[in-house]
Amino acid sequence: MLFIIFFFPVVLLIIFGYAINFDVKHIKIAVYDQDKSDYTRNYINGLISSDYFDLVTYVEDSDEIKGLLDEKVVQAVIVFPNDLSKKLMSKQDVKVQYLIDGVDGSTASVIQNYVNAATYAYSIRLTKEYLAVHGKNIYVPIDLQPRFWFNPELQSTKFLIPGLMGMILIVTAVISISLSIVREKERGTIEQINVSPLSSLEFILGKTIPYIFISLINATIVLAAGYVLFGIVIKGNIFLLLFATMVFLFAALGLGIFISTVADSQQVAFQAANVTSLLPSFILSGFIFPIETMPNIIQVLTNITPAKFYVVILRAILLRGAGVSAFWEQLIYLGIFGTIFITLATIIDKRSRGKN
Amino acid sequence: MKAIEVNNLTKKFGDFTAVNNINFDVKQGEIFGFLGANGAGKSTTIRMLIGVLEPTSGDAMVGGYSIMNDSEMVKRHIGYMSQKFSLYNDLTVAENIRFYAGVYGLDGKKYQERKQWVLKVANLENMENMLTSSLPGGIKQRLALGTAVIHEPKIVFLDEPTSGVDPVSRRNFWDLINDLSDAGTTVLVTTHYLDEAEFCNDIILINAGRLVAQGNAKALKTNYIKNPILEIESDRVVDSLEILEKEKWVGETSIFGNYIHVILNDDTITEKNITQLLYEQNGIKIKRIERIIPTLEDVFIHLIEKDNK
């Protein structure tokens, strides 16, 4: 059990960190160059000199294109017409076709943007050369200079680690606490505890304190692994991080305790804990899928998982180094969430004592 | 001095009355047997007396504290062991003892003393590092009782402590109960083994939530069955039973292995009449026929059948 609790986060981190990578790099392309001129060669060099494109093959026949895209040998094919250099030299407009595998829509649009940018850059270069010949300079009045703050290289792992940490913590906290209490019910040892002078509060504290430590160790493992494997450093205050994590654990353990009062077997508890912690924290927390792009009704539904609020806090502390003013609302929400579930659990527990 | 006083105790679950207005007293230091079939309401009653289940109405004083108003005080002064062994199987013997000692706030010298005592009664001296799950049933049960009384409570509740245990372990376990009683502890024990009931100072029998009999074993045997009871051993047990059941003067019958017990409704019927009926009219050979003092089993079957009518 203990092995699984500690092993689980590292495995998840490795899987998510390396496998789920939204960065689109090394797009495989093929070129159908019917012109075979300096122009096309420079154009192609412009594309493949970056990390974004890898030239896989040259196509010699238009029939080959379909096969390459079908078998996913390449993700895009660029087609240069045979009169490209002729048209360029006589200053006519040229149409260059590029075919993109549109099955994965988000990758396709990324490819489109990259090709657009590369083509635009090459076009500007050709214009400059043309004007230089006539002794003139090109004048581009506005030069956009985008800078990405907090995650300059737009690494998706930076974005994922906080979400992953939230998910791992809520899953281990909710599942382990609910299982550990329900196990006592199932084995009958809780009966002996009920008969003893031990109060409910003492029992719950005794049950939760070890898991708070386990969860904190887990959080440390995830942060350490995030640093070693993906170079993520904590920008904000570490004590603020600890405090926010404790508040989040309070909410998660509240949910776990609540589940343990309604479930009578470990199987039921495990299912309930899974459905209430793993799935929402994965799908609805904004960990992978941005909440802003969800339909309104689903956006409302995302409030059921405390992980959503913790992810906001974590991103603020880890990536932006923000202070408490950036996420006090989330902290209050987590506190309310935990209080509601612990109150519900107490009421149900009191009732069941009168009943069975 | 009364250890437990039960007054009009009732527990309803919805429309179902599990315990119906029962009254009884348990004297200090005695072994009190609480008998009844499965589902008769024994465990429900015990769970109310140990303060984990609230009665619907009525009250009981346990060790001088009301279970309605002072259930936390009740819990401090009793020990409880259920049919499920409430030990942690994944802990060692010593860890289980340490845990329950901690729950009852024992430490220092007192803890060491009680730990040695528990190990002694469970025959586990020098084996305290064994995993509890690896212990045989009889030993586990003695360890469970030992830990249940680690805080030396004045009153101990044992809910079917011997179910599923072999006869030798059962006998040893009862020796342990007798030792506790000799030391002044009041023991309330539920069982459906009637031979165990014979070890009890006082007995109550409940059926369908109602109290149907109380007294010591001897009083129960003589007070509740006034009619003569005959034990008959014949070569065709089932046939004999069927023939006798047709007679008006036969009250109740029951089979005990290769003989039957018959409770007569009519004092004038003698062994002779029965011999005549079975042998001369039906050709059944009678090996033995004699008038006996009823066993507890006779009494309980009689009382429960009467109650169910």
Decide if A139 is inside a domain.
no
Q: Is B53 on the interface with A (CB under 8 A)?
A: yes
CB–CB of A191 and B89 under 8 A? no
Q: Is the same domain home to B189 and B60?
A: yes
Decide if B302 is inside a domain.
no
3-state secondary structure chain B: CEEEEEEEEEEEECCEEEEEEEEEEEECCCEEEEECCCCCCHHHHHHHHCCCCCCCEEEEEECCEECCCCHHHHHHCEEEECCCCCCCCCCEHHHHHHHHHHHCCCCHHHHHHHHHHHHHHCCCCCCCCCEHHHCCHHHHHHHHHHHHCCCCCCEEEEECCCCCCCHHHHHHHHHHHHHHHHCCCEEEEEECCHHHHCCCCEEEEEECCEEEEEECHHHHHHHCCCCCEEEEEECCHHHHHHHHHCCCCEEEEEEECCEEEEEECCCCCCHHHHHHHHHHHHCCCEEEEEECCCCHHHHHHHHHHHHHC
Q: Is the same domain home to A263 and A346?
A: yes
Residues of B (163-192) whose Cβ lies below 8 Å from A: none
Is the per-residue pLDDT at A276 higher than 50?
A: yes
Q: Is A105 on the interface with B (CB under 8 A)?
A: no
Interatomic CA distance for residues A160 and A330, integer angstroms = 19
Interatomic CA distance for residues B169 and B164, integer angstroms = 10
Is the per-residue pLDDT at A331 higher than 80?
A: yes
Residues of B (55-84) whose Cβ lies below 8 Å from A: 72, 75-76, 78, 80, 82, 84
Task: Determine the 3-state secondary structure of A23 from DSSP.
Answer: coil
* Structure confidence at residue A356 (pLDDT): 44
Is the per-residue pLDDT at A22 higher than 70?
A: no
Which position has the token pair 């003589």? B222
Q: Is the same domain home to B254 and B212?
A: no
Decide if B305 is inside a domain.
no
Decide if A118 is inside a domain.
yes
How far does B148 lie from chain A, in Å, by closest CA?
8
- Within 10 A of A80 (CB to CB), how many other CB atoms are there? 23
Decide if B308 is inside a domain.
no
Q: What angle do helix axes B137-148 and B167-182 make, rounded to 10 degrees?
A: 20
* Structure confidence at residue A224 (pLDDT): 87
Task: Provide the residue range defining the domain that includes B279.
Answer: 226-293
* Structure confidence at residue A355 (pLDDT): 45
pLDDT exceeding 90 applies to what percent of chain A? Answer: 13
Closest CA in chain A for residue B158: A192
How far does A353 lie from chain B, in Å, by closest CA?
6
Mean pLDDT value of segment B203-207:
91
Decide if A149 is inside a domain.
no
* Structure confidence at residue A353 (pLDDT): 61
Contacts of B100 in chain A (CB under 8 A): 192, 196
Which residue in the set B13, B75, B89 is minimally distant from A196, CB to CB? B75
Paired strand residues for B233: B259, B288
Q: Is the same domain home to B215 and B232?
A: no
Q: Is the same domain home to A111 and A159?
A: no
Is the per-residue pLDDT at B187 higher than 90?
A: yes
Residues 6+ away with beta carbon under 8 Å from B4 = B24, B25, B26, B32, B49, B60, B61, B62, B63, B155, B186, B188
Q: Is the same domain home to A32 and A170?
A: no
Q: Is A352 on the interface with B (CB under 8 A)?
A: no
Which residue in the set A188, A189, A197 is minimally distant from B72, CB to CB? A197
Decide if B253 is inside a domain.
yes
How far does A356 lie from chain B, in Å, by closest CA?
7
- pLDDT tens column, A135-172: 777 777 787 777 777 666 666 677 778 888 888 888 88
CB–CB of A353 and B52 under 8 A? yes
Decide if B56 is inside a domain.
yes
CATH code at position A96: 3.40.1710.10
Determine which helix (DSSP H) or strand (DSSP E) holds A55, and give its type and residue range: strand A53-58
Nearest to A167 by CA among A297, A16, A319, A21: A16
* Structure confidence at residue B31 (pLDDT): 94
User: Of A103, A133, A163, at which residue does a domain stop?
Assistant: A133
* Structure confidence at residue A339 (pLDDT): 93
Q: Is the same domain home to B88 and B170?
A: yes
Is the per-residue pLDDT at B132 higher than 60?
A: yes
Name the domain count of chain A.
2
Name the domain count of chain B.
2
Q: Is the same domain home to B182 and B234?
A: no
Q: Indicate which of B75, B95, B100, B155 best probes the interface with A, i.e. most A CBs within 10 Å of its own CB.
A: B75
Decide if A144 is inside a domain.
no
Contacts of B87 in chain A (CB under 8 A): 189
Interatomic CA distance for residues B85 and A190, integer angstroms = 11
Task: Provide the residue range defining the domain that includes A178.
Answer: 2-17+155-355
Q: Which long-range contacts (C-beta less than 8 Å, at least 24 apart) are formed by A220-225? A: A221/A6, A221/A9, A221/A10, A222/A9, A222/A13, A222/A161, A222/A164, A222/A165, A222/A168, A223/A165, A225/A9, A225/A10, A225/A13, A225/A14
Decide if A85 is inside a domain.
yes
- The size of chain A, in residues, is 356
CB–CB of B51 and A195 under 8 A? yes
Q: Is the same domain home to A298 and A184?
A: yes
Q: Is B13 on the interface with A (CB under 8 A)?
A: yes
State the complex-level ipTM.
Answer: 0.76
How far does A189 lie from chain B, in Å, by closest CA?
5
Paired strand residues for B32: B188, B202
Decide if A145 is inside a domain.
no
- pLDDT tens column, B255-298: 888 888 888 887 787 778 888 887 878 888 888 888 888 888 88
Q: Is the same domain home to A8 and A105?
A: no
Determine which helix (DSSP H) or strand (DSSP E) holds A106, and give its type and residue range: helix A105-133
Q: What angle do helix axes A156-187 and A238-262 make, rounded to 10 degrees?
A: 40
Amino acid at B14: G
User: Of A102, A133, A164, at which residue does a domain stop?
Assistant: A133
How far does B163 lie from chain A, in Å, by closest CA?
16
Decide if B233 is inside a domain.
yes
- C-alpha count within 13 angstroms, C-beta hemisphere, residue B307: 19
Confidence of residue A23 (pLDDT cuts 50, 70, 90): low
pLDDT exceeding 90 applies to what percent of chain B? Answer: 40
Mean pLDDT value of segment B35-54:
88
CATH code at position B26: 3.40.50.300
How is residue A38 written in tokens? 């300096």
Closest CA in chain B for residue A188: B86
Q: Is the same domain home to B119 and B253?
A: no
Q: Is B86 on the interface with A (CB under 8 A)?
A: yes
Which residue in the set A194, A197, A353 is minimally distant from B54, CB to CB? A353
Decide if A138 is inside a domain.
no
Mean pLDDT value of segment A115-121:
84
Decide if B102 is inside a domain.
yes
3-state secondary structure A223-281: HHHHHHHHCCCCCCCHHHHHHHHHHHHHHHHHHHHHHHHHCCCHHHHHHHHHHHHHHHH
- pLDDT tens column, B70-95: 888 999 899 999 877 688 988 999 99
Q: Is the same domain home to A13 and A38?
A: no
Q: Is the same domain home to B54 and B105?
A: yes
Q: Is A220 on the interface with B (CB under 8 A)?
A: no
Contact B21, B77 (CB under 8 A): no
- pLDDT tens column, A282-293: 888 887 788 888
How far does B134 lie from chain A, in Å, by closest CA?
16
Contacts of A193 in chain B (CB under 8 A): 103
Interatomic CA distance for residues B215 and B228, integer angstroms = 21
Confidence of residue B62 (pLDDT cuts 50, 70, 90): very high
Q: Is the same domain home to B208 and B254?
A: no
Nearest to A250 by CA among A173, A178, A318: A173
Mean of the per-residue pLDDT values of chain B: 88
Highest mean pLDDT among A84-98, A104-118, A263-277: A263-277
CB–CB of A191 and B82 under 8 A? yes
CB–CB of A195 and B52 under 8 A? yes
Q: Is the same domain home to B182 and B71?
A: yes
Q: Is the same domain home to A104 and A41?
A: yes
Q: Is the same domain home to B129 and B246?
A: no
* Structure confidence at residue B131 (pLDDT): 93
CATH code at position B249: 3.30.70.100
Mean pLDDT value of segment B116-136:
90
Q: Is the same domain home to A283 and A170?
A: yes
How far does B300 lie from chain A, in Å, by closest CA?
28
Q: Is the same domain home to B170 and B252?
A: no
**B58 vs A292, more confident:** B58
Q: Is the same domain home to B127 and B231?
A: no
